[in-house]
Every structure is written in structure tokens, then in C-alpha cells.
């Protein structure tokens, strides 16, 4: 018998034992749906983590004074915690070291502090960052919302975070409004995009004047953007070694830290994917239960169809034909279960995503895998019953009532 | 405890000529069905040989045996044995599909054969929507659609009333006469056996007698207009 015909017979069989077929299909649907839902949630989570991380700038490396051992989980597993040398600072010499490295694309020095700000008669204490205005737009991960970023020739101007502009004072702060910062007047030329905090950014030279305890030539952080294609982790290690040399410290009394988001990024995505795999594994067990259901249904079906198998053999069906019909029957139960499971899984994942306020990703790859697996599961579950059916002797099968 | 082997047929030596209309008669349990199954290559004898076209069927592979059954032999059963989920047409077409015949030809042949048994109007009825006589005619159409050399009918009238039974036998006799097929009919109804050309009587698995039916009854020729 031709394959298409075997397939058609199998489908007729599925359609003619609707209730039993549907009950079996439900088993597969549940298995596939839970795998799809979990994997798509996991994929969504991973994508969210990754985009957050790339928003943080995976090509940025930050040097800051002080060293927190708790941040590191070295090969020795030493974990003495706490930070050391809190009075350490970063200075021109460190900047020189950074400048000497060929991987560097842009460098921005920053200082931070808090300042008193008057706006339309209201007073508040706000945090302030002095930035290197010529490179700031390259090393910041915040985009501009309104107005513009700081330019190289700017003075007496600031760019503020979106929350400061909209929420901090009774009246929102707009472009070109004046803020009085520590008694000096600054014009707002830009407001950062939504979701940025309430920090004021001003040229670092003026920040030295405004911030009382700041010392010219000392920085709170040096931010480095590396060139495209640079291995960030290797760069971090190299920079750390160079700075240790120039600052005359060893790993025992290290008083600065070099960090990038790449470690955090890979740890986070490792964690989410491990969790996804684990949960998908649990979900796959229900798929296994579905497979047992198919096998069970097929055994019952073979028993029920024994007489028909005898008839088919009497009118010329070969063992192979019978085998294929039953395999296709099992496979199509798997296929239908797979399709419905993908649909249900998609709905569940969108529903969960909406409830958890995150996007989920049902990728073409996982859909294809789910279909292949469910058909495969059906066929594997059908092998033994189908073989049993094909081996029935025609006379015995015909005599079966 | 081991199984005890009880031979259903003993010492049967039988040659059936091409184009004969044979009736196998005998009491219930005398081995008629067993003999039919052997002739129809549904079963392989535990001892002895069955030659079809001079070939020992026990030496054929499973799939060769299946195609031999499909092409050479048509079965008609007492219980009709139609596939309940398939229409009359689909049942008749099934043996052709098993032979991988092209769709157009198999459709034409199935239509023609259904018309031959007078069921053209019932092609799309399910077996459950047909009377016993009609179902048996569908099964006759199914046995003929492959144009087999041998038609085997195991008590084809067993489940039918005597009038319908007679009609079925009439149809078989007509096919035998018109198409020159070898027809082997199992029956325990001696009246119906009168329509066959040769009688084989079985008793307890042995052949009691083989004789030519000198009083063969013929159905009247149908006037063709
Ligand atoms: N599968 C079987 N197992 C055991 N005995 C069987 C089997 N099939 C048939 N027989 C026996 O073989 C003998 C012949 O049976 P059968 O050919 O069906 O007789 P008939 O068709 O003439 O009524 C009977 O005695 C029956 O009980
Ligand atoms: Mg019998």
C-alpha cells in the first residue's frame, strides 16, 4: 500500500475513535504545552536579562577605588568579604595607565557627590555626577529624552535624569529652566530618557567647583569603552595587573576594582538557562506520561481492530502495511497533540508573560522541536503495538470476535 | 501443560480445476473453513503442501503471500467482514489500494464492480446503513474487484434469509458463468449446493466424496435489453 494511503487509513482510524483519540491527545497536549510555556518563559527571561545587560553596556569597563573581596569568587574560593582601603582614590597616574592601553576607545572620568538645589523656591538635596563632557555621550548607557547631551564647549549647563525632571519638585523641570546648584545658576539643556534617575550631570570641571570635598585630579571612577571585538574579560584582567603595578599593590592589599558587566551578564544568563533546562526537564516528564498514554491506546486499538487486521490481510495487506497504518495512527495522535500543545503552550506563555510583565519568546526552533518530538514520541510509543498488529496471523485475526 | 495438537484436516488430497464451481459441504466442525483458509493462503498447513500454480505456498515470503492473496484470490465471508468505518465504495476499492493501483483506475474499477452487484446507488453508504444482503453484495464486489482467478466463499449465505441467500448464490453462479472464475463455495445447505458443479463432502477432517453434480441447477439467463 502506498504511504499516503496508509496515512489516510491511519487518520480515518483516529477520527473514528474520537473520544479515545482525544483523551490520548490531551496527554500529549499537556506535555508539549508545559514544555513550550516553560522554555518560552525561559527564553524571554534570558532575552530580558541580556537586553538589560547590553543596556548596561557590555563593552564598558569601570575602574573604581576600593576593593570588595565579596565580589570575587576566585579559584581558591577565598571569601574574606568586606572592602579594604576605603580612603584610596583614583588619580592622573591611573588615567595614564588606562590611556596607554591600545584596546581603549574612549575614557570618561567621573566624580560624584550630593548638592543642594533650588528650583522655583523649592530646595532639595540631589546627587550630582561630574562627567567628562567630551566623551560622556560615548560611555553613558542612558539616552537623551529631550534636548541634548553635554557638548565639549558647554559650561554652566546640566543634563538631568528623567525622574528629577518630572517627580522631584512640585513643578516639572523643562528644557532651558534654571537650577540653582550650591548657589550657582545652571541651565538645563537636556533631560535623559524615561527610566533614568534623578541625578544631575554637569561638566566635571565645574563639578570640582560645586562639590566641596572634591579634589582636582582625583576621580570617583574611570569608565572605559573598549574597541569593538575586544575580549572584555581579558582586558579587565590586563588592566587590573597594570594598575596593581603602577599603584604598587598586590592582590592582598588591592585598593581598586576593575569591573565590567560581562561577568554579571554571563552569570545571569547561565543561571536563567540552567533554571529553564531544569523546569523543562520536569515538564518533559509529563510528555513521557503522554507517550505511555499513546502506547496504551495503541494496544487497545490493536486489540479492537484485530478482526479488521485479519480482513485487511485476507484481501492483500502485507505486514508492512498494517505496521505503517498503526505507526501513522500513533504518529498522528502525537502530531495533533503537538500542534494543540504548541497552541496551548503559546497561550499559557503569553498569559504568564502578561501576568509577570515580561515578554516570552516562542521561537520557531522550539516549535519545530516540539512537533518533531511529539510525532517521534507517538511513533516510538506505537512501535510495539504496531509490530504486534502486523504479526497477527490472518486466520487467528479473522476468527477474533 | 503443553497444548494438544488436534489436526483439523487429515489426509486431504484434492485438486481443483481451473474454472470449476465447487461446493464444499459437511457438518459443522468437519474442517470446511480450515480447508478454505488453506486454499486461500491465509493459513499454512502444519504438514503437507499446498500448490498454487505449481508453487508451494509455504515457501513464499509473507509479503509475496499477501500479494498472492490480494491478486489471485477473492474472499467472501459469512459475516461479510466489511470495514465498518469505510463506505461501500471504499471497502470495494481497498484491495486495489493495497496493490498500489493508481487512483483513477481503482476508482473506475470499484465503480464498475459496485454496478455489477447492483449497488451503484449505495456507494457512499456505510456497511451499517446497508441490509445483510447488500453488505454481502458489497463483499462480493470487494472479492471481484481485483479480478481474481479464484473466489472463495465461506458460508456466504449463513447470515442471510433464504430468499436473499438464493440471490447471492445466483449472483455467484452468474459471475462464474460470465467470467469463468474458479468459485469455491462452502455451505451446509444442500439446496444451495445444487447450484455448484462439483461437490466435495467433508467429514471429521477427511474427504468423504468428490463428485460431479449431474443435476446442477442453473438460474435463468437474465434477459438483457
Ligand atoms: N484455532 C483453532 N484451534 C483449535 N481448534 C480449531 C481451531 N480452528 C478450528 N479448529 C477445529 O478444527 C476443526 C475444523 O474446524 P472448521 O474448519 O472451522 O470447521 P467448519 O468450518 O467445517 O465448521 C473443528 O473441530 C474445530 O474445532
Ligand atoms: Mg466454518
Ligand 1 atom with the shortest distance to the CA of B36: 17
**pLDDT tens digit sequence for A373-400:** 889 888 998 999 999 999 999 999 998 8
Chain-chain contact of B63 with A320 (C-beta, under 8 angstroms): yes
pLDDT at B183 over 50: yes
Domain assignment present for residue A366? The answer is: yes
Q: Tell me the CATH number of domain B31-223, given options 3.30.470.10, 3.40.50.300, 3.20.20.70, 3.50.50.60.
A: 3.40.50.300
Are A152 and A211 contained in the same domain?
yes
Which of A5, A318, A394 faces B63 most closely, judged by CB atoms? A318
Q: Which residues contact A263 (CB under 8 A, 6 or more apart)?
A: A233
Q: In which domain, by residue range, is A14 found?
A: 3-51+267-399
Residue nearest ligand 1's atom 17 by CA: B31
Are A248 and A372 contained in the same domain?
no
Q: Which of A191, A226, A254 is the last residue of a domain?
A: A254
Q: Total structural domains in chain A?
A: 2
Domain assignment present for residue A59? The answer is: no
Domain assignment present for residue A233? The answer is: yes
Are A366 and A273 contained in the same domain?
yes
Domain assignment present for residue A74? The answer is: no
For position A267, what pLDDT does the model report?
A: 79
Contacts of B86 in chain A (CB under 8 A): 12
For position A70, what pLDDT does the model report?
A: 46
**pLDDT tens digit sequence for A22-76:** 888 998 899 899 988 888 888 888 888 777 766 667 788 889 998 765 444 434 4
Instruction: Give the closest residue to A93 by CA, choosing from A244, A246, A222.
Output: A246
Contacts of B37 in chain A (CB under 8 A): 395
pLDDT at A189 over 90: yes
Least confident of A41-50, A64-73, A313-322, B38-47: A64-73
Average pLDDT over residues B53-59: 84
A383 C-beta neighbours (distance < 10 Å), count: 15
Chain-chain contact of B98 with A315 (C-beta, under 8 angstroms): yes
Q: Which of A254, A280, A309 is the last residue of a domain?
A: A254
Ligand 1 site residues, Cβ closer than 6 angstroms: B 6, 8, 26, 28-34
| Average model confidence (pLDDT) across chain B | 88
Dig out the grid coordinates for A334 from the structure. Answer: 502525537
Are A246 and A284 contained in the same domain?
no
Are A284 and A391 contained in the same domain?
yes
Contacts of B63 in chain A (CB under 8 A): 318-320
Are A236 and A277 contained in the same domain?
no
Are A273 and A242 contained in the same domain?
no
Are A127 and A101 contained in the same domain?
yes
Domain boundaries, chain B: 31-223
**To which H or E segment does residue A201 belong?**
strand A200-203
Are A272 and A249 contained in the same domain?
no
Average pLDDT over residues A297-319: 91
For position B221, what pLDDT does the model report?
A: 62
Chain-chain contact of B70 with A393 (C-beta, under 8 angstroms): no
Dig out the grid coordinates for B99 from the structure. Answer: 496493490
d(C-alpha B168, C-alpha B170), whole Å? 5
Reduced 3-state DSSP string for A111-144: EEEEEEEEECCEEEEEEEEEECCCCHHHHCCCCE
Are A7 and A109 contained in the same domain?
no
Is A400 an 8 Å CB contact of chain B?
A: no
Is A4 an 8 Å CB contact of chain B?
A: no
Better-scored residue on pLDDT, B183 or A151: B183
For position A254, what pLDDT does the model report?
A: 87
Chain-chain contact of A2 with B100 (C-beta, under 8 angstroms): yes
Q: Which of A254, A281, A302 is the last residue of a domain?
A: A254
pLDDT at A12 over 60: yes
Are A215 and A271 contained in the same domain?
no
Helix axes A306-314, B62-72, angle to 10 degrees: 70
Domain assignment present for residue A38? The answer is: yes
Domain assignment present for residue A21? The answer is: yes
To test the pocket of ligand 1, the residue of B3, B5, B25, B33 to mutate (highest count of ligand atoms within 8 Å of its CB) is: B33
Chain-chain contact of A311 with B62 (C-beta, under 8 angstroms): no
Domain assignment present for residue A43? The answer is: yes
Ligand 1 atom with the shortest distance to the CA of B28: 23
Contacts of B77 in chain A (CB under 8 A): 398
Domain assignment present for residue A381? The answer is: yes
Q: Give Cα separations from B180 to B70, B108, B174 (angstroms).
A: 19, 22, 9
Instruction: Give yes or no for a contact between A175 and A146, defined as CB atoms under 8 angstroms apart.
Output: yes
Give this prediction's pTM. Answer: 0.69
Are A169 and A205 contained in the same domain?
yes
Amino acid at each position: 500500500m502506498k504511504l499516503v494511503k496508509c496515512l489516510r487509513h491511519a487518520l480515518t482510524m483516529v477520527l473514528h475513535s474520537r473520544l479515545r483519540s482525544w483523551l490520548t491527545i490531551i496527554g500529549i497536549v499537556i506535555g508539549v504545552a508545559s514544555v513550550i510555556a516553560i522554555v518560552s518563559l525561559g527564553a524571554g527571561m534570558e532575552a530580558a536579562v541580556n537586553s538589560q545587560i547590553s543596556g548596561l553596556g557590555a563593552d564598558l569597563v569601570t575602574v573604581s577605588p576600593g576593593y570588595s573581596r565579596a565580589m570575587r569568587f576566585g579559584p581558591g574560593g577565598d571569601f574574606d568579604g568586606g572592602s579594604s582601603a576605603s580612603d584610596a582614590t583614583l588619580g592622573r597616574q591611573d588615567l595614564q595607565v588606562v590611556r596607554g592601553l591600545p584596546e581603549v576607545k574612549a575614557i570618561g572620568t567621573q566624580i560624584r557627590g550630593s548638592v543642594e538645589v533650588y528650583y522655583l523656591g523649592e530646595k532639595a538635596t540631589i546627587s550630582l555626577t561630574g562627567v567628562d563632557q567630551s566623551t560622556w555621550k560615548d560611555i553613558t548607557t542612558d539616552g537623551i529624552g529631550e534636548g541634548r547631551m553635554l557638548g565639549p564647549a558647554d559650561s554652566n549647563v546640566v543634563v538631568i535624569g528623567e525622574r528629577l525632571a518630572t517627580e522631584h519638585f512640585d513643578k516639572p523641570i523643562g528644557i532651558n529652566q534654571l537650577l540653582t546648584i550650591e548657589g550657582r545658576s545652571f541651565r538645563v539643556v537636556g533631560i535623559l530618557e524615561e527610566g533614568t534617575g534623578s541625578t544631575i550631570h554637569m561638566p566635571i570641571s565645574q563639578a570640582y567647583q560645586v562639590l566641596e570635598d572634591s579634589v582636582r585630579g582625583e576621580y570617583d571612577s574611570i569608565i572605559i569603552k573598549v574597541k569593538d571585538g575586544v575580549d572584555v574579560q581579558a582586558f579587565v584582567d590586563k588592566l587590573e595587573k597594570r594598575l596593581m603595578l603602577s599603584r604598587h599593590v598586590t592582590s592582598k592589599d588591592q585598593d581598586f576594582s576593575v569591573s565590567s558587566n560581562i561577568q554579571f551578564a554571563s552569570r545571569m544568563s547561565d543561571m536563567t538557562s540552567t533554571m529553564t533546562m531544569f523546569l523543562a526537564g520536569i515538564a518533559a516528564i509529563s510528555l513521557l506520561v503522554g507517550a505511555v498514554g499513546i502506547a496504551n491506546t495503541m494496544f487497545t486499538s490493536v486489540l479492537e481492530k484485530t478482526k479488521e487486521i485479519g480482513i485487511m490481510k485476507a484481501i492483500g495487506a502485507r505486514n508492512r502495511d498494517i505496521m505503517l497504518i498503526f505507526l501513522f495512527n500513533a504518529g498522528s495522535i502525537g502530531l495533533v497533540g503537538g500542534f494543540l500543545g504548541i497552541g496551548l503552550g503559546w497561550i499559557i506563555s503569553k498569559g504568564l508573560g502578561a501576568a509577570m510583565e515580561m515578554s516570552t519568546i516562542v521561537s520557531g526552533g522550539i516549535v519545530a522541536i516540539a512537533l518533531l518530538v511529539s510525532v517521534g514520541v507517538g511513533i516510538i510509543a506505537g512501535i510495539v503495538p504496531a509490530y504486534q498488529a502486523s504479526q497477527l496471523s490472518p486466520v487467528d485475526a479473522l476468527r477474533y470476535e | 501443560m503443553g497444548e494438544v495438537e488436534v489436526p483439523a484436516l487429515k489426509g486431504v488430497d484434492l485438486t481443483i480445476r481451473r474454472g470449476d464451481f465447487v461446493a464444499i459441504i459437511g457438518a459443522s466442525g468437519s474442517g470446511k473453513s480450515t480447508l478454505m483458509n488453506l486454499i486461500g493462503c491465509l493459513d499454512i498447513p502444519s504438514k503437507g503442501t499446498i500448490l498454487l500454480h505449481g508453487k508451494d505456498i509455504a515457501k513464499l515470503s509473507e509479503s509475496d503471500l499477501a500479494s498472492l492473496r490480494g491478486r489471485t484470490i477473492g474472499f467472501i465471508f459469512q459475516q461479510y467482514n466489511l470495514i465498518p468505518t469505510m463506505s461501500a465504495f471504499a471497502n470495494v476499492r481497498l484491495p486495489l489500494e493495497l496493490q498500489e493501483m493508481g487512483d483513477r483506475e481503482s476508482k473506475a474499477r470499484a465503480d464498475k464492480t459496485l454496478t455489477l452487484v447492483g449497488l451503484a446507488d449505495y456507494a457512499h453508504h456505510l456497511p451499517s446503513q446497508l441490509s445483510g444482503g447488500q453488505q454481502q453484495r458489497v463483499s462480493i464486489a470487494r472479492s471481484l474487484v481485483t479480478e481474481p482467478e479464484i473466489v472463495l466463499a465461506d458460508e456466504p449465505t449463513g447470515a442471510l434469509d433464504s430468499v436473499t441467500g438464493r440471490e447471492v448464490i445466483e449472483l455467484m453462479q452468474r459471475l462464474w458463468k460470465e467470467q469463468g472464475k474458479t468459485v469455491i463455495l462452502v455451505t451446509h445447505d444442500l439446496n444451495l449446493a445444487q447450484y455448484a458443479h462439483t461437490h466435495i463432502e467433508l467429514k471429521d477432517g477427511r474427504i468423504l466424496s468428490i463428485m460431479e453434480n449431474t443435476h446442477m441447477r442453473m438460474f435463468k439467463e437474465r434477459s438483457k435489453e
